[in-house]
Structure 1
Amino acid sequence: MNSKPWVLVTGGAKRIGAFLNQEFAKSGKNIVLHYHQAETAALALKTQLEAFNIEVFLWQANLNEPATIEQRFEELLKQVPHIELLINNASVFEQGSLLTSSLAQIQSNLNIHLTSPWLLIQALVKQAIKQNKPCQIINISDANLSHLYTSKAAYFISKKAQETLTELAAIECAPNVRVNAIAPGFVLEATVADTEVSTQISSPLSSKSSAQLATKDINILQRKVPLADLFSAIEFLSKNHSITGQTLQIDGGSHLQCPPYMLKN
């Protein structure tokens, strides 16, 4: 096993998670490639990442079953010596108003956006203390949490709770572990009811409707957020050792003014 640092991106086999893993591999980081059901995609991505002369360890874990997280993470640490960076990126993004959301839907959103990230933070900090090595945590938030919308109530409420998790974790994990977040705006079209979605994409639109979306309706800069901008924000937070408890809005200004497409959904 080489001495390069290890990075864990939850929901890392598809979409934004896969992109982040590719960028980390290019920069020489070893990858813990997390997936739930997307084994085929994870295996294919593993082959791509290994071409960058780094190590890739496949880690299957169901974040919708938080009771299993502590044991699964302990098993992971038997294979991976030290995780330098955890990115809580996995998400579900489903339709459902406050009055129509089912118990299962509410619980899955809380599990994936709040409870499991919380438990992973606990596990990572225990590792850092035990090994006396630093680590960092970055949560993937959502720029549109600045506005209220009801079409995805379980998602909205659970991600708002994750904002508080970021701030409280930054306090409790200091001084050796920094905790921050980035809040993307419109990056990729949403995949409705996709439990392997890499991140909430700040878009309650289907692929069909978003294809018809005018650029002026996306944000005040009138363009999608490039994936590269998300990675550069993560690099900035990783390298700046004086920042903790902050959320960077990578959103083209969506947090300042509710995008027109949000008002239609």
Structure 2
Amino acid sequence: MPIDLSGKTVLITGATGQLGRVMARTLAQAGANTVLHYHGNAAKAAELKTEIEALGRACVTVQADITDFQAVQLMSENALNALGKVDIVVANAVIQYEWTSILEQPLEDYRSQFESCVLQSVHLAKTFAPAMIERGQGRFIGINTECAMQNFPGQSAYTAGKRGMDGIYRVLAKEIGEYGITVNQVAPGWTISEKDRENNSEHQASYSQHVPLKRRGTDQEIANTVLFLASDLASYITGAYIPVCGGNVIPSI
């Protein structure tokens, strides 16, 4: 059964990132008009916009600091002026930093993860949910991580931010579900991206040997899960945390 998102508009934060760009292409291929958020990579955003418009979809690029509420509101205004509405919000952006132990991790890294995981989610909900409530439909899809279940050494700031994000998404699912809006999370494992293909680093035996499917997932497999959650096929799924990691982490019941 093909997925058709014709007439829908999706906003993807961090759309120029390794996973974001594949999500953008995939949802556009399914018919969605696209709002491409970026923070600093204007050139990649413009390149991606050209790709999506070549598919016959409307597309706009918007620059914003997703940790700044006023910047997110301005991003929304620019998106609405260009495309009229946003039906699907994919929260993919996150601040990158160097991982180390809790005792050595700079405090600023904990702040950056809180701001880019938790506050981004709050900013997007406050900005885009009211119009979805009025229309009686909408989708929020957060990109979480398998690390939120692993809690391995060195992951503390990232795990803390993503576990906080998980709390926001679970509560939001209960608060706005009555309006026909679903709120879900996709949790990738260590995913093969364009950068891996360029660097011939797709195969990481030390990681894959612990994965039940014995391989790393791909950026396209992450995008496919996002596409499913964005579609009517997932109309009765909300509040879910869905690992896309070959079984490397398995939520219990």
C-alpha distance 8-211 of structure 1, shift in aligned 2 (>3 A) = same
Structure 2 unmatched ranges of 5 or more: 1-5
For residues 137-148 of structure 1, the aligned pairs below 5 Å read 137-148=140-151
What SS class does the counterpart of residue 34 from structure 2 fall into? Answer: strand
Percent of pairs identical after alignment? 23
The CA deviation at 1:97 is 2.5
Could you say which residue in structure 2 is the equivalent of 1:32?
35
Once residues 122 and 192 of structure 2 are traced to their aligned partners in structure 1, the CA distance between those partners, rounded to angstroms, is: 26
Could you say which residue in structure 2 is the equivalent of 1:199?
none
C-alpha distance 96-73 of structure 1, shift in aligned 2 (>3 A) = farther
Could you say which residue in structure 2 is the equivalent of 1:98?
102
* Aligned AA (1:118): V
The CA deviation at 1:65 is 2.9
Could you say which residue in structure 2 is the equivalent of 1:236?
228
Could you say which residue in structure 2 is the equivalent of 1:249?
243
Q: 1:13 aligns with which of 9, 16, 24?
A: 16
The CA deviation at 1:213 is 3.6
Listed one character per residue, the Cα deviations across residues 26-51 of structure 1 (whole Å, up to 9, x for unaligned) are: 11111101100000111111111111
Once residues 102 and 70 of structure 2 are traced to their aligned partners in structure 1, the CA distance between those partners, rounded to angstroms, is: 26
Once residues 238 and 125 of structure 2 are traced to their aligned partners in structure 1, the CA distance between those partners, rounded to angstroms, is: 14
* Aligned AA (2:122): W
The CA deviation at 1:144 is 2.8
* Aligned AA (2:109): Q
Structure 1 unmatched ranges of 5 or more: 192-206, 258-265
Could you say which residue in structure 1 is the equivalent of 2:126?
122
In the superposition, the TM-score normalised over structure 1's length comes to: 0.82
Could you say which residue in structure 1 is the equivalent of 2:75?
72
Could you say which residue in structure 1 is the equivalent of 2:3?
none
| C-alpha contact (below 8 Å) 2:208/2:216 kept by paired residues | no
* Aligned AA (1:235): L
Once residues 236 and 209 of structure 1 are traced to their aligned partners in structure 2, the CA distance between those partners, rounded to angstroms, is: 28
Once residues 194 and 249 of structure 2 are traced to their aligned partners in structure 1, the CA distance between those partners, rounded to angstroms, is: 18
For residues 68-217 of structure 1, the aligned pairs below 5 Å read 68-94=71-97, 95-130=99-134, 132-176=135-179, 177-188=181-192, 213-214=205-206, 216-217=208-209
1:222 aligned onto 2:214: yes
* Aligned AA (2:236): S
Once residues 167 and 204 of structure 2 are traced to their aligned partners in structure 1, the CA distance between those partners, rounded to angstroms, is: 35
C-alpha distance 43-190 of structure 1, shift in aligned 2 (>3 A) = closer
Once residues 45 and 22 of structure 2 are traced to their aligned partners in structure 1, the CA distance between those partners, rounded to angstroms, is: 12
In the superposition, the TM-score normalised over structure 2's length comes to: 0.85
